[in-house]
């Protein structure tokens, strides 16, 4: 376990552990605000699809793919809105470090489910419009792009920063 009160070697902030936890939570909430609206709109849009006239014409495969997408969108929404609910439940309980850690984990898993949701939706759309093979290609490409930008780039930046010190 790391010592949250010890400053990072390159961090020149003079802040207490509580101030750092407050700052970390505010930064996390700012990041989540960007994600929450788009995720909720996507989930809402997906919820309307079964009520469209052409939905019954979809194959069983496409309906199952839709169900996977809607479940992933639901999980993403729960995970990305979860920190707000946890904050309300822990308000004034002096558990900010635990709140920040739990929220961090929910945000990381929420980003994963968001990437999977988007890849699944792209797979569904492309497979309906151009065929199943096109759906797999585009869905697979989406997973690669998400992994490169959301995991690979931070990994490279973190390793580059370590090598520079």
> Residue 117 and residue 130: Cα distance in Å, rounded?
19
Q: Burial code of 91-115, b = ≥16 C-beta within 10 A, e = fewer?
A: eeeebbeebbebbeebbebbbbbbb
Q: What is the pLDDT of residues 46-86, one digit of tens each?
A: 888 888 888 999 999 999 999 999 999 999 999 999 988 89
Q: What is the pLDDT of residues 147-159, one digit of tens each?
A: 999 999 999 998 8
Q: What is the pLDDT of residues 104-148, one digit of tens each?
A: 999 999 999 999 999 999 999 999 999 999 999 999 999 999 999
Tokens of 39: 């995720």
Crossing angle (nearest 10°) for helices 17-48 and 60-90? 150
- In the chain, domain spans: 17-164
**Cα 129 from chain centre:** 27
Q: Which residues contact 149 (CB under 8 A, 6 or more apart)?
A: none
DSSP summary character for residue 51: G
pTM over 0.75: yes
Angle, vertex CA 164, rays to CA 161 and CA 165, nearest 5: 95
């Amino acid at each position: 376990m790391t010592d949250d009160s010890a400053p990072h070697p390159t961090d020149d902030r003079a802040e207490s552990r509580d101030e750092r936890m407050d700052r970390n939570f505010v930064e996390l909430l700012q990041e989540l605000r960007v994600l929450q609206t788009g995720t909720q709109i996507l989930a809402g849009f997906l919820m309307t699809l079964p009520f469209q006239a052409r939905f019954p014409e979809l194959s069983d495969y496409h309906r199952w793919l839709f169900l996977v997408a809607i479940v992933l969108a639901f999980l993403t929404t729960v995970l990305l809105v979860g920190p707000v609910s946890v904050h309300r439940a822990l308000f004034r309980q002096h558990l900010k470090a635990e709140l920040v850690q739990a929220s961090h984990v929910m945000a990381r898993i929420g980003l994963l489910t968001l990437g999977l949701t988007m890849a699944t939706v792209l797979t569904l759309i492309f497979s309906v419009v151009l065929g199943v093979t096109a759906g797999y290609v585009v869905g697979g490409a989406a997973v690669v792009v998400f992994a490169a930008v959301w995991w690979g780039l931070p990994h490279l930046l973190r390793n580059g920063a370590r090598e520079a010190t």
